[in-house]
Amino acid sequence: MLKEINAVQLADGVYWLGILQDKRLEINTYLRIFKGKDKTVNMVIDPGPPVVFDKLRDNLSALRKDPKNVHFIFLNHQDPDVSTNSMYFKKYNPNVKVICSEDTWRLVNFLGLNVTNFIDIDKFKSLRGRLSTGHTIRFIPTPFCHFRGAVMLFDEESRILFTGDLFGGITHSDGLYATSVNWHGIRTFHQLYMPDQEALQNALDQIKNLDPKPEIIAPQHGALIKGDLIDELIEKLYDLPVGWSLLKSLVKNKDFYIEAVNEIIDDIRKRAGDDMIEMALRKIESDGSFPNIFEFKNDKVIDIKLDPGKSMKMLIDALQEDQPKETMEIIRNAVLKAAVEWNLPLFESLINENTTPSELLVIENEDSY
Ligand SMILES: [Fe+2]
Ligand SMILES: [Fe+2]
C-alpha cells in the first residue's frame, strides 16, 4: 500500500512527486517545470514503475498538471523501477520525448516506444541540452553506475543533480532529506547494486568536479541529500568496496573463515568436552536466525552466508551464552589462538582491555594453554 504523500517543492519549478512506498525500496520520481517567456516545458525524471502511476497522476494533478502535458521524460537507465511508466505517459501523450542514452534506449524501446519518441543523449557532444525555454540541462554519464548507459541529469538553474540509483538507499526515510543515519542503507544499496569500485569512483569524481556544485542530490531511491552530507557521503562511497571485488573478497575470505571457525570449534571441543560443544551447537542450530548464517554438516561449519567476520563474531557470542566462567575462558582462548594463527581481526568483546598483541603471540607459541 502506498503512503499518502503529496508532491513537495524542492526548488523553484522542481518537485518531488513521491513516491514513497511502504516497501524496503522507496521510489522517487521528480517533475521539473521549465518556464520560459511564453512557454512551459514539463519534464518527468525517472517516472517509476506502474504500481505508482495512479499516485503519480494524482500528484501531478495537485500541481495542475496532467500526464498529457508531460513533454519530456528523462531516464537514468532502463530498469523497471525507473523506466516502465514511460509507456503510460506515451499513452497520454503519443509525442512525449524520452531522453536517455542509446544503451538505455536499446532496452526501453521494448516498452512500446517509437524511435520518434527518442532523444539520444549521445548526440549532445557538449553533454548540454538547451530547452526552448532557454534553460540548460546537463547530462553526466556514469558508466556502470550501475548500468553501462546510465546518465545523471544536472539542472543548472536549481542545482539539483538527479543521480538515478547512485546515492540511492535501502531505507525507510523518516524525512525527505537524509541524515547521517541513512548511510547504512546507502552503503548496503551500493554494495549490492554498484558493480565496480572504479566505476563508482569515476562517477563520484564527476560530481566533485561539477561547476556549479550541486545543492541537492536527488536519487531514485531513499532520502534526498543536501548540505555537508553531500561531500561526506561522496567521501564514504569513494572508499567503499562494492560489487564484484567485494563479492570476490568475501568468497575468498569465506573459506579462510570456515577453516578458522572449525578449528575454534575443535579446540573448544578438546578443552571443554564433546557435550558442551554439542549442546551449544544444537542450541545455535535451533535458534531461528543461525541456520540462515551457518550451514552445519556433522557438527562442522560448511558454509557462511553473510559477512564472514561478523558471522563468526555472532557464532562466538552465541557459543559463550550462558556458559560458566571457566568455559567462557576456554572459548576466549580458542578464539585468540585462531585469531593469531589465521591473522583474523580480533574480536574486541573477547579480549580483555589489557591484552596486548605480544600476549597473543605467546599463546600462538604454546601447545597447550
Ligand atoms: Fe537500477
Ligand atoms: Fe533503481
pLDDT in tens, the chain (369 residues): 345 568 999 999 999 997 766 666 889 999 999 999 999 999 999 999 999 999 999 999 999 999 999 999 999 999 999 999 999 999 999 999 999 999 999 999 999 999 999 999 999 999 999 999 999 999 999 999 999 999 999 999 999 999 999 999 876 567 899 998 888 789 878 988 999 999 999 999 999 999 999 999 999 999 999 999 999 999 999 999 888 887 777 667 788 788 888 989 999 999 999 888 888 877 776 665 565 678 888 878 898 877 777 778 778 888 888 888 889 889 888 888 777 676 665 554 454 433 443 333 333 333 333
Rounded to the nearest whole angstrom, what is the distance from the C-alpha of residue 142 to the centroid of ligand 1?
12
Q: How many Å apart are CA 74 and CA 100, to the nearest integer?
A: 6
Q: How many Å apart are CA 226 and CA 177, to the nearest integer?
A: 7
Residue with grid cell 599463546, as numbered in its chain: 363
Rounded to the nearest whole angstrom, what is the distance from the C-alpha of residue 205 to the centroid of ligand 1?
20
Rounded to the nearest whole angstrom, what is the distance from the C-alpha of residue 164 to the centroid of ligand 1?
7
Residues with CB under 5 A from ligand 1 (ion): 79, 165
At 176, list the grid cell.
525527505
Rounded to the nearest whole angstrom, what is the distance from the C-alpha of residue 82 to the centroid of ligand 1?
7
Rounded to the nearest whole angstrom, what is the distance from the C-alpha of residue 41 to the centroid of ligand 2?
25
Helix (H, G, I), strand (E, B) or coil at 140: strand
HSE toward the beta carbon, residue 180, CA cutoff 13 A: 5
Beta bridge partners of 141: 151
Rounded to the nearest whole angstrom, what is the distance from the C-alpha of residue 81 to the centroid of ligand 2?
6
Kindly give the pairing relationship between strand 97-100 and strand 118-120.
parallel
Rounded to the nearest whole angstrom, what is the distance from the C-alpha of residue 194 to the centroid of ligand 1?
9
Beta strands in 133-266 (DSSP E): 136-141, 151-155, 160-164, 216-219, 225-226
CA-derived radius of gyration, the chain: 27
Phi first, then psi: what are they for 44, rounded to 5°?
A: -100, 130
Q: Which domains does the chain have, with CATH numbers?
A: 8-240 (3.60.15.10), 245-365 (no CATH)
**Are residues 337 and 369 in contact, defined by beta-carbon separation less than 8 angstroms?**
yes
Write down the pTM of the prediction: 0.72
What per-residue confidence (pLDDT) applies to 21? 65
Rounded to the nearest whole angstrom, what is the distance from the C-alpha of residue 361 to the centroid of ligand 1?
48
Which amino acid is located at 138 in the chain? R
Rounded to the nearest whole angstrom, what is the distance from the C-alpha of residue 27 to the centroid of ligand 2?
8
Rounded to the nearest whole angstrom, what is the distance from the C-alpha of residue 112 to the centroid of ligand 2?
21
Residues with CB under 5 A from ligand 2 (ion): 81, 165, 220
- How many Cβ atoms are within 10 Å of 204's Cβ, its own excluded? 20
Rounded to the nearest whole angstrom, what is the distance from the C-alpha of residue 143 to the centroid of ligand 1?
12
